[in-house]
Structure formats: structure tokens, C-alpha cells
Amino acid sequence: MSNTSELFGSMVFSNAVMRERLPKETYQTLQKTIKHGKHLDINIANVVANAMKDWAIEKGATHFTHWFQPMTGVTAEKHESFISPTEEGRVIMEFSGKELVKGESDASSFPSGGLRATFEARGYTAWDATSYAFIKDKTLCIPTAFCSYGGHALDEKTPLLRSMEDFNREAVRLLKLFGSNVSSVKTTVGPEQEYFLIDKSVYEKRPDLIYTGRTLFGKKPPKGQELEDHYYGTIKPRVKAFMEELDEECWKLGISAKTEHNEVAPAQHELAPIYTTTNIAADHNQLTMELMKKVASKHGMFCILHEKPFEGVNGSGKHNNWSAITDTGINLLEPGDTPSENAQFLVFLCAVIKAVDDYSELLRISVASASNDLRLGASEAPPAIISMFLGDELTSILESIKNGNEYAVHEKEQMKIGVHTLPRIPKDNTDRNRTSPFAFTGNKFEFRALGSSASISEVNTVLNTIVAEELKQFSDVLEKADNFEKELHNLIRKTIIEHGRIIFNGNGYDDAWVQEAEKRGLPNLKTTPDAYSKFLDQKNVDLFSSHKIFSYAEMKSRYEIALENYIKTINIEAETMIEIVKKQILPSVSSFEEDLASAIASKKSISENMSCKFEEETLAFESKTSDKAYSELKNLEKVLSKAKGESLELAMYYKDQVIPAMKKLRSEVDTLETCTSAEYWPLPTYGEMLFSIKY
């Protein structure tokens, strides 16, 4: 298939396929289920399943799976073949409605954070009919949500779907007050995915990349990103071939991969899809990450999704572009053309401002992980302090509302401010301030603190819920208003006065901002344990339980899983360091030292006066440094052996004791690298990795 439009969605059981393949009545009933979340009758499910199976078999599928997103951050699948034996000893291909809508699987090996007692190992997967089924690797994949026997969410998707429903309810309620009769509102997301590509041959020689996804050692190469010659640079043919195949694979699955370019660091790239409904965007992003790995491997490369694979060069993030759209096609974060559209825009904008200020800790928590800690606040990614960028124009509009002044748009037109006519907002002032974690970019918000390897589900669950909460508070006030416009004006003004502190249009990488933010009372949660120590605060528990996103038990389980993940990640890194230093670095350095020593001895055997300056000085330095590395190794082993306790306490120990010990060991090893012969150094260097794709 060379035609892109034919290729696009060719492996998706899409709306068009359903319309074509399902009896009219079945199709209409299924549409109702999809649009309004109605229960799907088993007879209908049987018809749908049968059509799906026939379609999948025609496309070469032999198996089906319920595809879900447990709390591991990656997706899970258990393949079952369609075959079903007949009495004559033959097989027929079968797939029932029951198998389509519900699956039962052993959940005991997925993280549950204590939610699922082991005697209750069963978990259920239930079809998310709003996300289309698709074929991947000859397998029909049914996107599903994953719950425990008791109905607790065991995955990333269930809370996301709950938060979308919640947002929908509150947004529709608020829009009614503006005389709108929209029947649904969906949040939309376009995640920009950053990644690195290196040659497989260098990857295979780095146990740290293999075990932990990042390099634990490596000195800065002579050339890094300082020449800024990679960003948007010409794409090398090998990478281009990879991108072309990746695009095609994405398109087959209906993922609208749109923009591919080189990023800031050498070997770093980005893919951005066209935005779509949030739960579908989440499914698509998981698939995109999986495809990146697979396609890279086919091209003899390795795709690194880790947030900070190389120290000293930029890490990778995933900008989460977020907005909300009505079923009538109105983007609620698009400044409108008329004053009333603008009033509506301003109220949604204010809901986001208030949400980000009220719940900045939750937003910070939603991007917290051991790997993202290495990136946030490193003057390449937004700081761990959550603030909002609105741009000068929007900020001065809000200021003028706050102060009750007239607002004059720079050179453009006179803005009318007043109770009846809220100002018209100029359209073309999107932001190019890249240092803000949460930026308004013309018709959407871009949350930039998310890490490259993370699922987008958690972040969007939080975003949807916190904004829904503010919409709810606004409706509670506005519904009771005698004079709607006056109350609306007051509400907007009040929000700006009370929550203006979250708006910061300056340089987020600047040290002065850290102090300024502290003065404003904005939290600065630098690490994952710091962030998670706030997760179970009453305010957050109240929010999630009142919106029925998470029960307390579900929150507690997520808290435990996140901390356990943090601890395990750092523990694996520390163990990997120990192994590499013991088995590779120190033995290699010792061989080099032996070489130097025998070179000195043989030179001296010719003449006592023979100069051995290089050999002697290098040997002395190597010897001293390898001793230091050895003691740091012993120290790390000791620190690790003392790791005790659980949950937050243990996570804090890893943060305060283990990570510093790892850093000290790394520093000595990186020094050794500077003076050890390349012939002896056992690991590919940063230069060899970052410039491994040569053509």
C-alpha cells in the first residue's frame, strides 16, 4: 500500500469499518454506547465481535487480546487465538461478544499497591468502546480498562475515563449558563514525544542502558550540543528511513503522526501527532512508544525513551498539549470573535488558572518519577516549581480586568472593557517562552514537565479533574446569580486577584525565579519523594473522592506503587553501577596500570635515565583515582546494605543517601575515563554513543 490515505487507519476497526460491516441497527446501538456510555447488550456484542473477527482474520490476524495499561507505565496484553475445536477434530475461528466486552485475567503480578489481596488475584478488563480496536502483530487488540474484583481501578485508563466524564459533566453545566446547548465536551491532547536514537552496537555494550535505560557513567565528549547544530538540522538518511517507517506504522494504526524533527541534543528527535480525544491520545502515545522501539530495532538502532539518558546534554520530555472541545466543534480555550465567546473563553481560562494554583502540587506529583527528577530543574526542562505562562497580551488583559482599567491592545485595536463586553482577545500571540512548565499557546495549554517515558494518562487525569473542580465551583456561584454578567465579571476578577501569583512570564530557568516563587508561596517539590509526601493530603483526597476519580484506597495504592517504583529504580541503578565498576571498570583500569608499569620497567631496563614522564604521572594519577573509585564503590555497597523500612521513609533514604553515594562513585569513574587508554576503556564513550548514527 503506497497510498497514504489508504494506509491510514487500515489496521483499525474504525467508525467507517463499523458502518460498512455492521447491520444498520447494530451500528446505531453501538454508536449510542460509544457516545453516551450506554450498556452494551450481549446480543449486540456478539454481532460486533463476529464482524470484528471476520475483519481481523481478513487482515491476517490469528489472535486477539484485551490490551490494557496497568500501573507499570507500559501496556499489557495476553494473546488468545481465535481457534475453537469442533467435534470433528477440526477448528473454527471464534470470538464471542462476551470475549469482546469482558476479560478475566490473573492480576497478581501487576502492581496494585495493596489493593488486591493475593487471594483475590482475579482482575477484569472491560472494553473501552470509545477507543477503536486495532490489529498489531497479527493480533486483534481490544483497548480495555483494568479493574480488580472489587471494582478498584488497577490501571491508568479507568481514572482517565472517569475524569473525562467528570469534566464533561461540569463543562456542559457551565456552558448552559452561557445559553449554549452543547451535549458533550471532550478534553483533547496532542503529546509531543522526544526520544534518542543510537546505534544498536553501542547500546549492546552498555549494561547501564540495558538495565536502567540511562547511562550511569560517562564523561562529557569534546562536542555536545554547544554548537546547536542539531536542532531542526538535516535528518540523516538512516534516521529519515526510520522516521518514514515509523510514520507508516503509526498511520496504519490511525495515529496521525505529523511532525518529525531533530531536537536540541545530538541523536535526539521528536515526533508530534495531531491532537485527539484524551483517552485515544493516551492509547496512541503508548503505541507510538512501542513502535519507536520496534522500528528502531529493525533499522539497527536503539530508541531511548528515558528522561535523562546522558548527563550534560538535554533530556527528553513529552509536552502535553491540552484543551477541550464541544461536540459542536468549539475549542473552549480559543479566544473567540465576539464578546460573549470571549467571556466564555475567559471563564474557562480562569478555571485553569485557579486549578493550577489550587492544585499545583498534584500537577507536580503527576509527573514525578526517579527518571524525571533528573531532568526537571536542570535548566533544560521546566523547574519543579509549577507556574503558568500566559504571554504579555493575555496577562495585560487580565490585569486590566483586575484593576478595572481600559485595555489597549498594542497597535491593534481598542479593547472594550466593561461588564457587558469582556475584552476581545487578539488571536496571534502564542508563546515562545520555553522555560515555563505550563504555557498558554494560543488555543491550548502546554504542560511541559511530563517525562518522555511516562504514560500521559495520569497527568491528564489530574488536569481534567482539577479543572472540573473549578468549573463546578464557578457554576455553583453563577447558577445562583441575579445578574449573571456582573457575577461573571466579579468571578473572573476575584480569580485573577487571588490566583495571579501562579502567572509568571519570565525565565523559569533563572535562579532568581526560585526565590521569587518562594516569596509567592509556590511549592518547590524537587524530588519524587518530596512530591509524593503531599499526595495523600486531605485536600487531594477530598478532590478525588468527591469527583469519584479515586477512592482513598485507590489513592493509597497509587502512592505505594509510585514510591516502590522510585525505590526499585534507584536500587537497580545502584546495583548496576556496582556491577559495572567491579567487573568492568576497575579490572580494565588495573590492566592499563599494569601496562604503564611494565612500560616504565622496560624503558628503565634500557637505561635508568630514560624519561617516563607520561607513564609515571598517568600511573600515579590512575592509581590514586582507582583507589578513590574503589572506596566509593565500597561506600555505595555499605549505604545500600543499610536501606531499610518502606514507602516514604525508604524512598527518602534512597534520595538522601543512595543517590549521593552513586554520584560520588560516578565522579571518580568519570575521572578515570579521562586518563585511561581508549583501548582499555570497557564502555562506549558519550561521543561514540551520541554520534553513533553517522549517515
Residue 96 binds which entry of Mg ion, ligand ADP, none, CB below 5-8 Å type-dependent: none
Q: How far is CA 304 from CA 126, 195, 246, 255, in A?
A: 32, 6, 15, 20
**In the complex with ligand ADP, which residue's Cβ is closer, 283 or 560?**
283
Return the number of the residue (445 or 550) whose C-beta is nearest Mg ion: 445
Burial class (CB in 10 A: 0-12, 13-18, 19+), 534: middle
Asked whether the CA dihedral 41, 47, 49, 52 is positive or negative, the reply is: negative
Report, in Å, the least distance between residue 194 CB and ligand ADP: 12
C-alpha cell at 285: 502515545
Residue 273 found at the interface with ligand ADP (CB under 6 A) = yes
Which of the listed partners (ligand ADP, Mg ion, none) does 331 bind, with a CB threshold of 5 to 8 Å by partner kind?
ligand ADP
Quick count: other Cβ atoms within 10 Å of Cβ 480?
8
Is the Cβ–Cβ distance between 501 and 354 less than 8 Å? no
Contact of residue 584 among Mg ion, ligand ADP, none (CB under 5-8 Å per partner type):
none
Residue 270 or 458: which CB sits closer to Mg ion?
A: 270
Decide whether 188 or 387 has the Cβ nearer to ligand ADP: 188
Number of residues counted as binding ligand ADP (CB under 6 A) = 14
Provide long-range contacts, Cβ within 8 A and 24+ apart, for 294-297.
294/249, 295/242, 295/245, 295/246, 295/249, 296/197, 296/242, 297/200
Residue in 557, 545, 542, 460 with CA at minimum distance from that of residue 154: 557
Q: x-or-dash pattern for ligand ADP, window 321-360, by CB under 6 A?
A: xxx-------x-----------------------------
Segment contacting Mg ion by CB under 5 A, of 123-131, 178-186, 313-321, 465-473: 313-321
Q: How far is the CB of 204 from ligand ADP (least distance, A)?
A: 33
Where does this chain touch Mg ion (CB under 5 A) — which range of 193-201, 211-219, 226-234, 319-327? 319-327
As given in the structure block, the three cell numbers for residue 478 are 453563577
Q: DSSP state, 456?
A: S
Contact 355, 469 (CB under 8 A): yes
Is residue 188 a contact residue for ligand ADP (CB under 6 A)? yes
Nearest distance in Å: CB 570, Mg ion: 30
Return the one option of Mg ion, ligand ADP, none that residue 272 interacts with (CB less than 5 to 8 A, by type): ligand ADP
CB of 499 to Mg ion, least distance (A): 24
Q: What minimum distance in Å lies between the beta carbon of 276 and ligand ADP?
A: 8
Integer Cα distance of 309 and 195 in angstroms? 10
Tell me the window of 56-64, 81-89, 269-277, 381-389 that interacts with ligand ADP (CB under 6 A). 269-277
> Of 444, 499, 558, 666, which lies in the binding site for ligand ADP, with binding defined by CB under 6 A?
444
Q: How far is the CB of 190 from ligand ADP (least distance, A)?
A: 2
Q: What is the residue-wise DSSP string for 244-292? A: HHHHHHHHHTT--EEEEEE-SSTTEEEEEEPPEEHHHHHHHHHHHHHHH
SS3 state of residue 323: strand
Of 156, 192, 247, 554, which lies in the binding site for ligand ADP, with binding defined by CB under 6 A? 192
Determine if 440 is a binding residue for ligand ADP (CB under 6 A).
no
Q: Side-chain half-sphere of 243: how many Cα atoms within 13 Å?
A: 24
319 counts as binding Mg ion under rule CB under 5 A: yes
Q: Which stretch binds ligand ADP (CB under 6 A): 6-14, 113-121, 184-192, 458-466?
A: 184-192
Distance of closest approach, residue 319 Cβ to Mg ion, in angstroms: 4
Least distance (Å) from ligand ADP to the CB of residue 505?
17
Q: Where are the alpha helices (DSSP H) in 37-128?
A: 42-58, 97-101
Q: Which three cell numbers stand for residue 22?
A: 455492521
Applying CB under 6 A, does 274 fall inside the site for ligand ADP? yes
Alpha helices by DSSP H, listed for 505-551, are 511-520, 528-532, 538-546
* Amino acid, res. 651: A
Contacts to Mg ion by CB under 5 A = 319
Contacts to ligand ADP by CB under 6 A = 188-190, 192, 272-275, 321-323, 331, 443-444
